[in-house]
Amino acid sequence: MISASSNMKKKSYCPYSKFRVGAALLCEDGTIITGCNVENASYGLSICAERTALTKAVSEGHRRFKAIAVASDLKTSFIVPCGACRQFLIEFGADWDVYMTKPDGTFDVKKTGELLPNGFVPESLEEERVSHMA
């Protein structure tokens, strides 16, 4: 998975930031789905590698994940998912693994729920609410 995420950096479309990111998602059935960041001339529309991998996976029918590995070219820091990706990751559970890697193959690993403590999750929408006028 770590080498798959590192390989995906080659596919990164990042003409603006020049910051290559690759991700490899391990589905519960053993399938590995990869993704890279895809930037846009309208900068804010850029999508991260993690969300690319997740949307690819979900659109292929996968919803249960064991882990995701993320790779960048940063030499001294492990790449960490941005806030938007943390929210996307926790949508599919708070208890699966995020491997944040360096180009030398070393990694830090944290649970999705550790990366987004007190997150707003699907169950949050099921809690009792006060009534309101339409």
Ligand X SMILES: O=c1ccn([C@H]2C[C@H](O)[C@@H](CO)O2)c(=O)[nH]1
Q: How far apart (Å, rounded) are the C-alpha atoms in residues 36 and 52? A: 6
Report the residue from 46, 91, 94, 113 that binds ligand X according to the rule CB under 6 A. Answer: 46
Other CB atoms within a 10 A radius of the CB of residue 65 amount to 22
**Residues 90-109 close enough to bind ligand X by CB under 6 A:** none
Active site residues: 50
72 is in an annotated binding site: no
Q: Is 42 exposed, middle or buried (0-12, 13-18, 19+ CB in 10 A)?
A: exposed
Other CB atoms within a 10 A radius of the CB of residue 5 amount to 30
* Binding partner selected for residue 19 from ligand X, Zn ion, none, CB under the kind-specific 5 to 8 Å limit: ligand X
49 interacts with ligand X by CB under 6 A = yes
Q: What residue numbers does the annotated binding site for Zn(2+) cover? A: 48, 82, 85
Binding residues are 37-43, 48, 82, 85
Site residues for ligand X per CB under 6 A:
14, 17, 19, 21, 37, 39, 46, 48-50, 70, 79, 81-82, 85
